[in-house]
């Protein structure tokens, strides 16, 4: 196996890193404090091609491979996890789902505008009473002639109030369980569809989060993504892609923590010497470095397999589980190394600390990832 990045990979990393350092990092703390969604940065990312990475050029994307997508997601995640969340939702959950499951008409209608940032998307799966168990969703879609009527709500939806189109999942027949779930593409402004913001989050403060509300929301058959009984498959394939980008963004947090700590421990002095000379500081730095390499290699392995067109559910779960947990460890150690300075919002590691935790929760908790991995290893399903 060749672990070297190609010239294209290196160029992408350098380009996105330069953009992140010049455009994102200088304003990330300000946006975080104000809980302000950075519209202008999202549009500049679109101009650079970051919102259409792995989408074929014929649909307005950049035609990048999945390792390239991980590299750009890592670099944005290092600068600002809130913006990385926007990329993850836009590309991994919405665009790739339309690319894989959509009709040609749907692809041509939505993908070019999503890739260029003229449209923003959101992914409506989670509900107040349906998180890790999406088959228990209570949002319904009832068919009348050639139309569907949706009723229910979604919660903790990234991009909820800024999205122009929502990929929404609803139950068409509760007696069929997950086989009754359908996926719909619902445009902003559709009668009966509204949103409500959620504020006061621990982290990802400049990422838009909210609820999707459906009250006799009427959509046509042309809004259906795939067939009515394939919604669960659409959701699971989307989560495979979403978990991959969350893992890559978590690698960015680990890299950011390590970079910040390396600089700090070589300049901060106690007892007449740089604290980097202390053994227990080096213990934390060593763990960060090992976690960084291990997480990045797991992400690249999953990306390599995605490039081959293979199913990567387990490899992606491993990458997401390990990288997200490692990001929490790295951020916690970084705060400890910085001491009181790390406990202040003036320090970047404080933001890493707040932002890292959610990666172990959304798009499948760490516990769900371990169940998926364990079931695969043992050949015994945890859910029966």
Q: Which two tokens stand for residue 42?
A: 């999202």
Contact status, residue 181 vs residue 137, Cβ threshold 8 Å: yes
Overall average pLDDT of the 239-264 stretch: 97
Report the distance separating Cα 71 and Cα 13, nearest Å.
6
Contact status, residue 199 vs residue 190, Cβ threshold 8 Å: no
User: What does CATH list as the number for 233-378?
Assistant: 1.20.140.10
CA 214 to chain centre: 24
334 pLDDT band, cuts 50/70/90, is very high
How many helices (H) and strands (E) are present in the chain, helices listed first?
12, 10
pLDDT exceeds 80 at position 243? yes
Is 363 an active-site residue? Answer: yes
Q: Comparing C-alpha atoms, which of 258, 261, 259, 370 is closest to residue 317?
A: 370
Element (H, E) at 246: helix 231-267
pLDDT exceeds 90 at position 376? yes
Q: Is residue 279 exposed (0-12), middle (13-18) or buried (19+ Cβ within 10 Å)?
A: exposed
Q: Is residue 384 exposed (0-12), middle (13-18) or buried (19+ Cβ within 10 Å)?
A: exposed
Contact status, residue 148 vs residue 128, Cβ threshold 8 Å: no
Q: Which pLDDT score is estimated for 1?
A: 61
Domains 7-120 and 233-378 share a fold: no
Contact status, residue 338 vs residue 267, Cβ threshold 8 Å: no
Contact status, residue 195 vs residue 210, Cβ threshold 8 Å: yes
Q: Which pLDDT score is estimated for 384?
A: 62
Eight-state DSSP code of residue 38: -
Q: CA angle at residue 64 from 83 to 16, to 5 degrees?
A: 40
Domain ranges (residues) in the chain: 7-120, 122-229, 233-378
Q: Which pLDDT score is estimated for 3?
A: 74
User: Using one digit for the tens of pLDDT, what is the confidence trace for 114-137?
Assistant: 999 999 999 999 999 988 888 889
Catalytic residue among 74, 75, 127, 363: 363
Q: Which residue has the tokens 């989560």?
A: 239
Element (H, E) at 154: strand 147-158
User: What does CATH list as the number for 7-120?
Assistant: 1.10.540.10
pLDDT exceeds 70 at position 343? yes
Report the distance separating Cα 142 and Cα 99, nearest Å.
26
SS3 270: strand
pTM, full prediction = 0.95
SS3 182: strand
User: Using one digit for the tens of pLDDT, what is the confidence trace for 49-67?
Assistant: 999 999 999 999 999 999 9
CATH superfamily of 122-229: Butyryl-CoA Dehydrogenase, subunit A, domain 2 (2.40.110.10)
pLDDT over 90 percentage in the chain: 92
- Strand-strand pairing, 121-124 and 165-171: parallel
């Amino acid at each position: 196996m060749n672990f070297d990045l190609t010239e294209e990979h290196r160029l992408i990393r350098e380009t996105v890193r330069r953009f992140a350092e010049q455009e994102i990092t200088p304003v990330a703390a300000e946006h975080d404090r104000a809980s302000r969604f950075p519209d202008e940065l999202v549009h500049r990312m679109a101009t650079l091609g970051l919102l259409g990475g792995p989408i074929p050029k014929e649909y307005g994307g950049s035609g990048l491979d999945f390792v390239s997508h991980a590299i750009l997601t890592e670099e944005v995640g290092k600068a600002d996890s809130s913006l990385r969340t926007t990329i993850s939702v836009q590309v991994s959950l919405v665009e790739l789902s339309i690319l894989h499951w959509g009709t040609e008409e749907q692809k041509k209608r939505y993908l070019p505008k999503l890739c260029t940032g003229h449209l923003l998307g959101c992914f409506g799966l989670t509900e107040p009473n349906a998180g890790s168990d999406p088959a228990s969703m209570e949002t319904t879609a009832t068919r009348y002639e050639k139309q569907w009527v949706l009723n229910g709500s979604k919660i903790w939806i990234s991009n909820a109030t800024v999205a122009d189109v929502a990929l929404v999942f609803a139950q068409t027949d509760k007696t069929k369980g997950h086989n009754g779930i359908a996926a719909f593409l619902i445009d902003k402004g559709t009668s009966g569809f509204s949103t409500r913001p959620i504020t006061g989050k621990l982290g990802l403060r400049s990422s838009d989060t909210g609820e999707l509300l459906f009250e006799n929301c009427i959509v046509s058959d042309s809004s259906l993504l795939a067939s009515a009984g394939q919604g669960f498959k659409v959701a699971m394939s989307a989560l495979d892609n979403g978990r991959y980008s969350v893992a890559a963004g978590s690698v960015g947090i680990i890299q950011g923590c390590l970079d910040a700590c390396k600089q700090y421990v070589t300049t901060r002095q106690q007892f007449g010497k740089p604290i980097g000379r202390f053994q227990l500081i080096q213990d934390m730095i060593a763990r960060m470095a090992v976690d960084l390499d291990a997480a990045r290699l797991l992400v690249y392995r999953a990306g390599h397999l995605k490039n081959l067109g293979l199913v990567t559910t387990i490899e992606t779960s491993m990458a997401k589980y390990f990288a997200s947990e490692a990001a929490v460890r790295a951020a916690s150690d970084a705060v400890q190394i910085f001491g009181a300075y790390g406990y202040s919002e003036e320090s970047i590691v404080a933001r890493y600390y707040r932002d890292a935790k959610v990666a172990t929760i959304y798009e499948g908790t760490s516990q769900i990832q371990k169940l998926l991995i364990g079931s695969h290893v043992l050949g015994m399903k945890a859910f029966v």
